[in-house]
Amino acid sequence: MKKTVLLLVFVSTFLFGANQCIVCHKGIEDIRDRNSSMMQEILKVADKAGHAGNDCIVCHGGNPKSKSRKYAHRGTVKYFKMHKGPKEYYPAPASSWINQNTCGMCHPNQVASQMNSLMMTEQGKIQGAMWSFGAKEGYTHVNGNYKTKNPDDPHKRLGTDTYRKYMQKLSKMEPQGFPSEMKELPAAPTAKEIEKDPSLAVYTYLRQECLRCHTGSKGRYKRGDFRGIGCASCHVPYSNEGFYEGHDRAIKKKERGHMLSHQIQSSRKVKVHINDVNYSGVPVETCSTCHNRGKRIGVSYQGLMETEYQATFDKEGHGQPKLHTKRYLHMKEDVHYQKGMLCQDCHTSNDLHGDGFLAGANLGAVEIECQDCHGTTKKYPWELPIGYSDEFSTKEASGEARGVAQDLAKYLKQGYVPKDKGDGYILSARGNPLPKAIKKGNKIIMHLASGKDIELKPLKLLKEEERLSKKALIAMDVVSAHTEDMECYTCHATWAPQCYGCHVKVDYSGGKQNPDFLKASHDHDIHGTTGGMRDLKKYLVDGKVTETRSYLRWENPALAQNGEGRITPVIPGCQTTITVIGKDGKALLQNHIFKIPNVEGAGDEGQNAIDMAPVQPHTIQKEARSCESCHTSDKALGLGVGGGKLNADPSKTTIMDLMSADGQIVPKKVDEQIPAIPNLKHDYSQFVDENGTQLMTVGHHWKLSGALNKEQRSKLDRRGVCLSCHVDIPEGNLAVSAMTHIAEMAEIEIDNKEHQGILNKILNLGAVVQIVGAGVMVLLLFYIIYTVFIKKKSINPRNRGWK
């Protein structure tokens, strides 16, 4: 064996000089194609370091001259002590904690921005959980995964001058959502501390359950959750099964937790070759390794909706395997997904990497709107003003046309840039160019990361070419309020995941412990080991978190107002109902819903700290949801599934056993079937009553988030409109009765189409009658005035001025 190794070392030294890396890692894939511009830059750095042709050391560091694995993975290259680069051996060179020395050599802007990006800080998620435990930081977003602050110089914000000015304006309008600094989330409490204050369990909940997905740590070792750390979270492929399928003989092929292949996935120009498949771009499934909880936009985009059931069965009779620890129904995928669009085809570099400044929640971090590409039926995208559909105001944005951009920032040119920029780059709602969206005449060419080009016709062009359906024209063009006051996805997102009642148990009894994922990543993981349980034993903290829910829905989400001041779908946010078990096994809190005083319509008694969250569901369909699904729906108004009339009072305990007719329980040995939730008097899906009084909070990140106000409800509510006609059909007044009998005698079949035609005729006839009637009344009035005053005056002999 030793002779074989020595022979390999000799051969490799002869063939590859002093690069011993490939002796052990023979067959490993090039991180990028050898002929790519990126690889050429890497090799230039290696050459300066005195290791020509060895691209390994540029990212991983180490000592490539050593013949010992022990020392090869310990040493460093002298060149990098005098220049930027690895200071030691980095098994995971993309780690957020050291990637300024690796990825940052070529991509300084993106790496500098990462620490303040929402994917790193998770401020929105943290504030949401703390809200449900009694609003421990109120409406502010001051706690995050790590301590950080904004740069002192506002010009360091990545983006155009227009974008910077716009973001400064938003930051002043919504200071609670755009914090200037962030402090580190408090540590997980001990079981002893919980006895004094059970609400501290929120920190255990966050650290053990919610904060696994930030880019400062590696993915959890569960099917579907395998991923890298830092830049590798997105830019290195991992399969759902977590196996390596490349050719490096040093990487175990039967051990989970490895990358799929040692290659970078990125833009359209970066080609990845695995198992006879060639692709470009970052697959949606990479994004879904994180975006499968909370708003679930990753899996929803793919058409996956959670279910509690195991169907269907495979050939051996096994039920559906868990993915992201869940099972799914396959719904309709988002239309953009059906077209082959990846997440990065809409979302910008700033959306993903951050712009260098803190944003407390999604609306603050995301700069794009549907209208950026689709426009409206009255205006092309380039005719809209900056800020359209991103107003953070209830007034529609106005101003001069945004136009298009003719150039890109230097950092954007590192990605794929189309050779033909046409008439210019489409601008986002906040004023940054979209490098892959090119204006050509009145059309937009989308250069997708997959290599595919799509021709997009904006709504105004579709209207001019008479390609919009009658329904579409009515909804978007005739009823202008839909375009002015609503998000496009309010109608076009036809389903949304709704997980009602998040029942959280944090159990501190019997010495129970689980890993603190956040604490593990705080140790500045440069080895990419924070995802595996065997590497997390030293990060165990008191308590064990368990989650379940009351029920799931997907159809016809309710409506409310989001932080941008527009009507939007809402789904359950943190509807956290909390049980905390103390050291002795007894409940310190049982099915408890915290109340927050003096917020969202409540007084000192407090508002229930369970939340309905505004959402872009990422389930867009070309055919929108029906008018009736909103305008005749109790649920859309916020009154809950079935108008809140189907559920028993959840604040009362349900016991099921032998009972007398008057409800007396016969046996003495009984158990509670459904223990009470004391602070909940209604179903989780109902967040307002018929008077519009809020029963829980509706969005708590932005000032304008809230339930529909009285005027909005009045415009939406058309329930019971059928009775307007049918109260007099068939035995109403003489005319209605005659019309009904004539229809019966003529055997006219009144189906849905005929019914709509009748209503349309009645509407038009009624309008004509009213207009004619009004005209007749005006003429009659003039006649009376003329007869009584003017004509009478002219024949009065005492009126000397008249003959």
DSSP bridge partners of 581? 507, 587
**740 vs 732: CA distance, rounded Å:** 10
Which residue type sits at 342? L
Evaluate the CA torsion angle 17, 19, 24, 25 in order and state its sign.
negative
pLDDT (tens digit per residue) in 346-381: 999 999 999 999 999 999 999 999 999 999 999 999
Residue 100's H or E segment, with its range, is none
Region at 155 (left for phi over 0; alpha for psi -120 to 50; beta for the rest)? alpha
Structure tokens of 272?
Answer: 């990845």
The pLDDT-based confidence of 789 (bands split at 50, 70, 90) is confident
- What pLDDT does 679 receive? 97
**285 vs 301: CA distance, rounded Å:** 10
3-class DSSP state of 560: strand
The pLDDT-based confidence of 739 (bands split at 50, 70, 90) is confident
DSSP bridge partners of 182? 148
**144 vs 186: CA distance, rounded Å:** 9
Structure tokens of 245?
Answer: 């399928």
**452 vs 436: CA distance, rounded Å:** 11
- What pLDDT does 800 receive? 45
Nearest to 543 by CA among 208, 129, 130: 208
CA neighbours within 13 Å on the CB side: how many for 551?
A: 7
Nearest to 216 by CA among 196, 201, 230: 230
**Average pLDDT of the residues of the chain:** 91
- What pLDDT does 526 receive? 65
Q: What is the mean pLDDT of residues 259-270?
A: 96
pLDDT (tens digit per residue) in 601-621: 899 999 999 999 999 999 999
- What pLDDT does 801 receive? 46
pLDDT (tens digit per residue) in 106-165: 999 999 999 999 999 999 999 999 999 999 999 999 999 999 999 999 999 999 999 999
**433 vs 159: CA distance, rounded Å:** 9
Alpha helix ranges (H) inside 408-488: 459-464, 470-473, 480-485
Q: What is the mean pLDDT of residues 61-73?
A: 81
**557 vs 294: CA distance, rounded Å:** 15
Is pLDDT of 67 > 80? no
Contact criterion met (CB below 8 Å) for 135 and 609: yes
Q: Of 102-106, 569-573, 772-776, 784-788, where does mean pLDDT reach its minimum?
A: 784-788
Q: What is the mean pLDDT of residues 310-323?
A: 95
Record the pTM. Answer: 0.92
Give the residue, 416 or 67, on which the prediction is more confident. Answer: 416
Pairing, β 513-515 against β 540-542: antiparallel
Structure tokens of 194?
Answer: 């919980």
